[in-house]
Structure 1
């Protein structure tokens, strides 16, 4: 896990949450800016996931490995689920769906950092 990358991911997630909240406040559906930001977030999450898998292949084992893997898989899938749900939402609340998904990603990332820091050795 790369803590500087987690900071960047957190910033991107908060930006996505802000854009989603803004579109809800303006009674607008999601658009290209939402999808592009979610795409950047997903790409960075895949990079972080790759770094975590490489670290585990290199011998680093979090003490709660199953919990770590569950969080890692979930955090990578969450923006995809948020975008799919938001795209199917015909009202202005689609932005809120994305905002909640993005804020959840930010929280889960910091929980992953905590889990990564505790080794089972």
Structure 2
């Protein structure tokens, strides 16, 4: 796990939360900017997942591997699910759906880092 990448994911997630809330407050649906932000978030999460997979293949595993893998798979799926749900939502609340998904990713990557750095003692 790479702490600078976790920070980058958190920043992109926070920007996406602000965009989602702003579009809902303005009474608008999500647009290309929202989708680009979600795509960037997904790319960063996939990069973090690849880094973790390579490290685990090299023998560096977290103390609680099953929990770590559950969070890792979940955090990879949430942006995609959020975009699909937000796109299907025909009201102004689509931005909130995307904001909640981005917020969940922001929290989950910090939990992944915490799990990775745990000693298991």
Sort the TM-score into its range (normalised by shorter chain).
over 0.9
Query: Which segments of structure 1 move beyond 6 Å, counting only runs of 4 or more?
Result: none
Listed as ranges, the matches of 1:76-115 within 5 Å are 76-115=76-115
RMSD: 1.0
Q: Equivalences for 1:4-83 in 2 at 5 Å?
A: 4-83=4-83
**Across the two proteins, how many residue pairs are aligned to each other?**
121
Runs of 5+ consecutive residues of structure 1 not aligned to the other structure? none
- Cα distance in 1 for partners of 2:89, 2:119 equals 42
Question: Contact 1:60/1:119 (CA < 8 Å) preserved in 2?
Answer: no
Native 8 Å contact 1:61 1:120 kept in 2: no
Query: TM-score, length-normalised on structure 1?
Result: 0.97
Structure 2 regions of 5+ residues with no counterpart?
A: none
TM-score between the two structures when normalised by the length of structure 2: 0.97
